[in-house]
Structure 1
């Protein structure tokens, strides 16, 4: 098991634009962003197109939150490439073995509990050194309702200090009371993936699942470490693709299982 632990800092959002095609797109810029700020974002290895200023920082590439502090902190570049076919993880993981508890707010519809249970079952079926368990409250990861004004399907962050990121926000205002167990389980499993250190499978080209123009983020300075045995190119149906269409079910494919098993 690969056990290197390093600090990572961003909040990733599994976003979707609420259009008729119901596919995630970059969030449009709401406020003008200064050239100095754009230069700092570029230095961190992120696309500077359609940057949105939000409370406390900026959303870049439609799904990653960078705080003001992040933009003013120097980071050592951490990238590792092994072999010819890899997937991506962050430079910080969860300490294992351990059981991660997950709770779900009663503000979310009752049907969401079944979807959370399905997502947990998908992970536990892999025989990892991480196991997951639903609890009634105060879980290591807490699923809560996203603000009514949210422009994303769900959001989560990356681990720190050997612990999973502690929050997943679900946009039930958009998803509704019963979006479908497997579809919602895919979204929740994706966000849990971020919480334990996974970046998007199509990190090297978000246009694969999101549409739009080609963009390769490159190694950057924020921790994009390839996972041996997983594709560098397009990987259809991976649970960690950046964007998802309405109603799609993405259980772990063989490459996903390889990535999970390699890390945990």
Structure 2
């Protein structure tokens, strides 16, 4: 597996989100006309989420269940009911970090991950290879997380499901852990298929990062547009052993810097990515 260092269309050091289409089994996306409440905006701010352009969206996943989510201009979905999310805050040393406090509990760290092959939302051959590489990335880290990958249609039995939402753009979409469990649904956009397998590996590895609780490394100053995703005004705790500056080579960078060529992505973790994940798990 070749690997260089990549600048993500998606994101590492601390968790957060990305994009989607409608077809038989999944992905019916509707933007709601209803407004986001003041309470929801305050909670998102306390979580360290930029509250500019927050909208209510609906997603219908492979299981046929339609859920409402809150979403800004990133790749992350936040449950409409935000009660299960913790606020960001200062730790005892007053250090800073870039992760959510929503992590995977000790009892849920063996993760059955499914590459979906059903009609309408099946992963392409290239996506399947990229998913295998991404899972290998995580399983090689010597952490308490262990991913067991299968391919098929039994999404009910899986802890995490990766599928093709058939959208023409690049990137994907995921969410943060809830209730001590990984976020279940990772959507890949069909537009990724035009690029090398390493690029798709990067997208998947990035989205899995969100599902286990990692935020974007450049959340405070996105490299593609300079937007601050927000730290809620109450700080963020830095993960020991990782830089407190923007690491544009991180798998968890939020978006590609101007002039970045997706064909050059390696899909591999940087040393700082590895330190961050090993510290958390």
Q: TM-score, normalised by structure 1?
A: 0.73
Question: RMSD between aligned alpha carbons?
Answer: 3.3
1:143 to 2:157 alignment: no
C-alpha deviation, 1:171, in angstroms:
0.8
Summarize the alignment of residues 19-98 of structure 1 with structure 2, pairs less than 5 Å apart: 37=37, 40-41=40-41, 44-45=44-45, 46-55=49-58, 56-70=68-82, 77-81=87-91, 87-96=97-106, 98=109
Q: Name the structure 2 match of 1:155.
A: 173
1:100 and 1:131 in contact (8 A); partners too: yes
Q: Higher RCO, 1 or 2 (CA under 8 Å, sep at least 6)?
A: 2
5+ residue gaps, structure 1, are 1-10, 17-29
1:239 and 1:256 in contact (8 A); partners too: yes
1:130 to 2:138 alignment: no
Deviations 1:145-197 (CA, angstroms, capped at 9, x unpaired): 2254x86621111112222111111111x223x53121111110111111111
Q: Secondary structure at the match of 2:148?
A: strand
Q: Secondary structure at the match of 1:210?
A: coil
1:86 and 1:229 in contact (8 A); partners too: no
1:228 to 2:240 alignment: yes
Aligned residues: 231
Q: Secondary structure at the match of 2:146?
A: strand
2: CA distance, partners of 1:203 / 1:218: 8
2: CA distance, partners of 1:147 / 1:91: 32
2: CA distance, partners of 1:43 / 1:258: 29
1:189 to 2:194 alignment: no
Which among 174, 179, 184 is matched to residue 166 of structure 1? 184
Q: Name the structure 1 match of 2:231.
A: 218
2: CA distance, partners of 1:132 / 1:75: 24
C-alpha deviation, 1:85, in angstroms:
7.7
Q: Secondary structure at the match of 1:237?
A: coil
C-alpha deviation, 1:263, in angstroms:
1.1
Q: Secondary structure at the match of 1:135?
A: strand
Q: Name the structure 2 match of 1:6.
A: none
2: CA distance, partners of 1:183 / 1:175: 8
Q: TM-score, normalised by structure 2?
A: 0.69
2:50 and 2:232 in contact (8 A); partners too: no
Q: Which moved more, 1:81-90 or 1:136-145?
A: 81-90
2: CA distance, partners of 1:179 / 1:101: 27
Deviations 1:224-253 (CA, angstroms, capped at 9, x unpaired): 543112122111211111113523224111
1:237 to 2:242 alignment: no
Deviations 1:65-91 (CA, angstroms, capped at 9, x unpaired): 344433xx5976442347798642211
Summarize the alignment of residues 89-108 of structure 1 with structure 2, pairs less than 5 Å apart: 89-96=99-106, 98-106=109-117, 107-108=122-123
